[in-house]
Structure 1
Amino acid sequence: MIGVINTGTYYGLYLLFLPHMPYLAAHVVATALSMTGSFFLNTHFTYRTRPTWRKFLLFPLTNATSFVVTTAGVYVIVDILHAGNRLAPLIASLAAVPVTFVVARMIMVPKRGTAGE
């Protein structure tokens, strides 16, 4: 559910910024803004752990792979396939969801025997 909320937030921001900047810039800004909300929703609801500065600073790593995959996907869909820039981010993000979840879990839920803070 958090992924759906985060994707909706990202996509809404992307569409909001799209008329005012190039599509890749809109993608980058929307990703950065939605990532902060995603962190707090994931710490509270998904992983039931308290937010810390360490986790907050490491959380962008969870989205690094997703960002690379979706950015490359958006570029391929828009510039190579000429399929349009409105739905490209949603299509490209589908491939990145499982990878992002696994990396987020490794950061948010430390292994037993480690402080994790």
Structure 2
Amino acid sequence: MSRQMFTFAVIGAVNTGTYYCFYLLFLTYLPYLVAHVAATVLSMVGSFFLNARFTYRTRPTLRKFLLFPLTNAANFLITTAGVYVLVDLMHFSSRFAPLLASLVAIPVTFVVSRRIMLPKAEPARIA
């Protein structure tokens, strides 16, 4: 496994923990889907800075910050649909559904975030 993939996975675990803490906190006051959305937005900010610094070793810029939510768009759609299916259709606990649903979205998130955070390599020059 490459260093980037390993670091991305570690930060993903930290981010998942952060998300889950916010989710459980918000779940005490909000419906589960609203708690999910709010926790996702908050944890996404931390994920951006951690991945910029440690995974991709690149300077965080406003442009990258504004594009970074695209890395989580697929993650968000997959996890939101997963949470809905697990809770409403399969009657799974709303406390644990987001953890299971997030496992499916991780590979997609890595590929999209790498494209946004790292500049495109210049094509090889023919001398």
- Report the TM-score range of the alignment, normalised by the length of the smaller protein: over 0.9
Pick from 88, 99, 105: which aligns with 1:79?
A: 88
Write the distance in 2 (CA, Å) between the matches of 1:75 and 1:64. 16
| 1:56-114 per-position Cα deviation (integer Å, ceiling 9, x unaligned) | 00000000000000000000000000011000000000000010010000000111239
Q: Residue 54 in 1 paired to residue 63 in 2? A: yes
Structure number, greater radius of gyration: 2
Q: Residue 69 in 1 paired to residue 78 in 2? A: yes
Q: How does 1:1-16 map to 2 (within 5 A)?
A: 1-16=10-25
Match of 2:52 in 1: 43
Write the distance in 1 (CA, Å) between the matches of 2:92 and 2:117. 36
* Secondary structure class of the residue paired with 1:96: helix
Match of 1:98 in 2: 107
**AA aligned opposite 1:103:** V
How many equivalent pairs are there?
A: 114
Q: Which runs of 5+ in 1 are unaligned?
A: none
Match of 2:34 in 1: 25
Write the distance in 2 (CA, Å) between the matches of 1:57 and 1:83. 34
Q: Which runs of 5+ in 2 are unaligned?
A: 1-9
Q: Which runs of 4+ in 1 moved over 3 A?
A: none
Write the distance in 2 (CA, Å) between the matches of 1:28 and 1:75. 12
Normalising by structure 1, report the TM-score. Answer: 0.95
Write the distance in 1 (CA, Å) between the matches of 2:90 and 2:64. 38
Write the distance in 1 (CA, Å) between the matches of 2:88 and 2:119. 40
* Secondary structure class of the residue paired with 2:68: helix
